[in-house]
Structure 1
Amino acid sequence: MSGSLFGKNFRLSTFGESHGPALGAIIDGCPSNISLSLEDIMKNINRRKPGNPQVATARLETDQVEILSGIFEGKTTGAPIALLIRNMDQKSHDYSTIKEVYRPSHADYTFDQKYGFRDYRGGGRSSGRETAARVAGGAIAIAFLKELGIQITAYTRSIGPVMVPADEIDLSQILLNPVNMPHMQKAEEALAYIAKVKSQQDSVGGTVECIVHGLKPGLGEPVFDKLDALLAYAIMGIGGVKAFEVGVGTQASTLLGSQYNDAFYAEEGTVHKKTNHSGGILGGISDGSSICIRAHFKPTPSISQKQKTITASLQNTVLEIKGRHDPVIVPRAVVVVESMVALTLADLLLSHLGSNLETVKKLYK
């Protein structure tokens, strides 16, 4: 099975299944001498794992990370960093009823068609639980970027019909509510909506918005490895994401050029833009303003309502999914989006070091 490796220079590989003994991540290509502790990694891991029963599954995983290599006396050594997260609360019997049945909107059918088998215990490699390994690895990329003054902040922009207005975003509110919304009133409305949907044995989707501050101009390539294209690749690789936007996103198709274009101006020898409709990326390359992207997540496909489906022997049937499932995955996905953005930027920054001769000379000297 290929496709478990991300990046060219700052590389992440993940392993493990949702109901196997453990999940894990290996980071290769991380520079040495980056300050990093277990607490730095656990801080993000704790943001991803279930907590509030209003918005998350009842599965109680400690998600305790074990550092196996690559860190010594609080610093990265330059060697591969291996991280392990043991699964402690598997209840595989919850999935026994779907052993021969394909769940609607899951990867069951396609996985079976590709590999000739499927791990029905929560989806195996297709499970959202795999993102725990990404978040563990992403914490290292975040620490690397922090050393360079680059900050990544993601939050829940919308859940179902409840959306935070662009002019009312308050980043100080993100960690003060269970849905990670930058607006306390909208967070309360979202929680009420989730409760309503949950009572109807249903689920809901939403949007995660992510802002990157402190990224200098020049990151990304003008053709295939555009910054926005690589960010799209990273974000669309998160389970449940069905759409990706940069800047004003799809709204750009409704605007005139005179409305969309970001006017430049210079102030004290520094280049600025009056607006940021492009989301900080021009021609596939960062322009020095804030990067702004959005990930749109579908509703959690595991719902308790009766659904029409088929068996592996192609018999029509009706399925009623049991077990412990999130009524919405968006709040837990916020830190996953941050992690994938960080991994993308860390990888590109290392690639950027060889983009022109003068930079190479400075490094060599």
Structure 2
Amino acid sequence: MSTFGTLFRVMTYGESHGKSVGCIVDGCPPRLPLIEADIQTQLSRRRPGQSNLTTPRDEKDLVTIQSGTEFGITLGTPIGLLVPNQDQRPHDYSETDLYPRPSHADWTYLQKYGVKASSGGGRASARETIGRVAAGAIAEKYLKLVHGVEIVAFVSSVSNIAMPFIHEQDERLYPENFWEFLNTISREEIDKDAVRCPDKIVSDKMRERIHEAKAANDSVGGSVTCVIRNVPTGLGEPCFDKLEAKLAHAMLSIPATKGFEIGSGFKGTTLLGHQHNDPWVLKDNGRLGTKTNNSGGTQGGITNGENIYFRVAFKPPATISQEQKTATYNGVDGILAARGRHDPCVVPRAVPIVESMAALVIMDALMIQQSRKTAASLLPPNPNVPPTMSGGILNLSKTQKQ
């Protein structure tokens, strides 16, 4: 469906070449300061035409808040967000009347609905993600104000060119400086380069690879790594709504995604249990935490207070300007020469989309946990609850340390 979330609910709408795209956000807490500028920053990072590494489609993606706020404050009622499509070219897609484009959703949408959008990808287009990014910006502002949550994503690979930590094969899984890197990397640093890879040497190689694909009327894929810092403990639901399961759901719903891994991911399968386990330690701030973080910030699907980090794989964009042998809707062999404008690599523009979907997951999980805690706080005290069930063991550890 087109709705995501349980208590913080987002419904996106719009097609790639329709009049507008946007979303309805339901469940946003009241009294949150919110104006268009709070949302526009992320939309501008996502928009097309940012550099010669992206599609030349010229969309400003300017957002208007239609409802749910007054005098710059949220009312607690549904927030309507609208972004006009200004640079539509539906005539660029007339060949899709004859051909289902290779690796696009033309054929599957037609089979599902019996009808499809006649231009572009319709709801399968990356234009749909505008609503996600707009809603994610709202969630992110609340998370930042209330808990200091920071979400930073960056391009970690393009084609076979990757940041060094992806190829690390020793027992640590990652080099020592990887953890400090996750603790300190900022969006400002990421955005210094159009590729959005913070390693200058690797970024230059990525840029060259993208330009090569573009010159050949082809495309390349890559991956985005994301870190979420200062996440409260206790978020996530057993068993089917584990936090990593919700993150996987969110990330794999983004167009062009093909894989998701959290923490040690697939590399962790090469280790023995004693190498992979995260021992518990009392940290300098008096909080119980893990010495390592191979788990990626969760245990049992519930946040443990460590950084959450994960990686999302993106395929090469399906729209390319090369002639391709394929078949028409009635099965006749033919040649498709796609027109239109496309990204030779989507990962630089996917960075804010990944951040926004992460914000939606954390926001929804936080509201669910807060509702549980509030409900529990209304119960009378129970003297029969042992200390280990009420957090007493943590208080004892602090006393012993002192």
Band of TM-score, shorter chain = over 0.9
Structure 2 counterpart of 1:162? 161
Please identify the structure whose Cα radius of gyration is greater.
Answer: 2
1:340 aligns with 2:338: no
Question: Structure 1 residues 278 and 187 mapped into 2: Cα distance closer, same or farther (>3 Å)?
Answer: same
Structure 1 counterpart of 2:116? 118
Structure 1 counterpart of 2:168? none
Q: CA offset at residue 98 of structure 1?
A: 2.1
- Picking from 22, 25, 32, the partner of 2:30 is 32
Please show how residues 301-320 of structure 1 align to structure 2 within 5 Å. 301-320=318-337
Structure 1 counterpart of 2:307? 290
CA contact (8 A) 2:51 2:194 kept: no
Q: CA offset at residue 356 of structure 1?
A: 4.4
Question: Structure 1 residues 357 and 136 mapped into 2: Cα distance closer, same or farther (>3 Å)?
Answer: closer
Question: Which structure 2 residue ranges, 5 or more long, are not aligned?
Answer: 166-176, 380-402
TM normalised by structure 2 equals 0.87
Question: Structure 1 residues 151 and 315 mapped into 2: Cα distance closer, same or farther (>3 Å)?
Answer: same
Structure 2 counterpart of 1:18? 16
C-alpha separation between the residues in 1 aligned to 2:59 and 2:11? Answer: 22
What is the Cα-based RMSD across aligned positions, in Å? 1.5
Structure 2 counterpart of 1:330? 347
CA contact (8 A) 1:173 1:183 kept: no
CA contact (8 A) 2:49 2:57 kept: no
Q: CA offset at residue 256 of structure 1?
A: 0.7
Structure 2 counterpart of 1:104? 102
C-alpha separation between the residues in 2 aligned to 1:240 and 1:64? Answer: 24
C-alpha separation between the residues in 2 aligned to 1:73 and 1:275? Answer: 46
Q: Deviations over 1:283-328 (max 9, x none)?
A: 1000100000111000001111221222111212121111111001
C-alpha separation between the residues in 1 aligned to 2:288 and 2:189? Answer: 31
TM normalised by structure 1 equals 0.95
| Percent identity for Structure 1 against Structure 2 | 44
Q: CA offset at residue 213 of structure 1?
A: 0.5
Structure 1 counterpart of 2:291? 274
C-alpha separation between the residues in 1 aligned to 2:88 and 2:164? Answer: 39
Q: CA offset at residue 330 of structure 1?
A: 0.5
Alignment-mate amino acid for residue 284 of structure 1: G
Q: Deviations over 1:116-163 (max 9, x none)?
A: 121131111111111111111111111111112111111111111221
3-state SS of the aligned residue for 1:118?
coil
Structure 1 counterpart of 2:262? 246
C-alpha separation between the residues in 1 aligned to 2:141 and 2:314? Answer: 27
Question: Which structure 1 residue ranges, 5 or more long, are not aligned?
Answer: none
Q: CA offset at residue 99 of structure 1?
A: 1.6
Alignment-mate amino acid for residue 200 of structure 2: M
3-state SS of the aligned residue for 2:10?
strand
CA contact (8 A) 1:353 1:360 kept: no
Q: CA offset at residue 54 of structure 1?
A: 2.3
C-alpha separation between the residues in 2 aligned to 1:136 and 1:267? Answer: 37
Q: CA offset at residue 70 of structure 1?
A: 1.0
Q: Deviations over 1:169-207 (max 9, x none)?
A: 554530101011112222111111111111111100111
C-alpha separation between the residues in 2 aligned to 1:152 and 1:298? Answer: 23
Alignment-mate amino acid for residue 164 of structure 2: P
Q: CA offset at residue 359 of structure 1?
A: 4.8
1:206 aligns with 2:222: yes
- Picking from 195, 215, 230, the partner of 1:179 is 195
C-alpha separation between the residues in 1 aligned to 2:297 and 2:305? Answer: 7
CA contact (8 A) 2:289 2:304 kept: no
C-alpha separation between the residues in 2 aligned to 1:173 and 1:219? Answer: 29
Q: Deviations over 1:1-56 (max 9, x none)?
A: xx001111000001111101111100000001112221110000000002344211
C-alpha separation between the residues in 1 aligned to 2:288 and 2:352? Answer: 31
Structure 2 counterpart of 1:227? 243
Structure 1 segments (4+ residues) deviating >3 Å = 166-172, 356-360
C-alpha separation between the residues in 2 aligned to 1:356 and 1:70? Answer: 27
CA contact (8 A) 1:218 1:285 kept: yes
C-alpha separation between the residues in 1 aligned to 2:237 and 2:213? Answer: 43
C-alpha separation between the residues in 2 aligned to 1:353 and 1:187? Answer: 41
3-state SS of the aligned residue for 2:378?
helix
Structure 2 counterpart of 1:151? 150
Alignment-mate amino acid for residue 253 of structure 1: T
Please, which moves more after superposition, 140-149 or 4-13?
140-149
C-alpha separation between the residues in 2 aligned to 1:297 and 1:357? Answer: 40
Q: Deviations over 1:80-118 (max 9, x none)?
A: 100001111001111112222011111111111111121
Q: Deviations over 1:63-94 (max 9, x none)?
A: 11111111222221111100001111001111
C-alpha separation between the residues in 1 aligned to 2:43 and 2:265? Answer: 30
C-alpha separation between the residues in 2 aligned to 1:273 and 1:358? Answer: 29
1:79 aligns with 2:77: yes
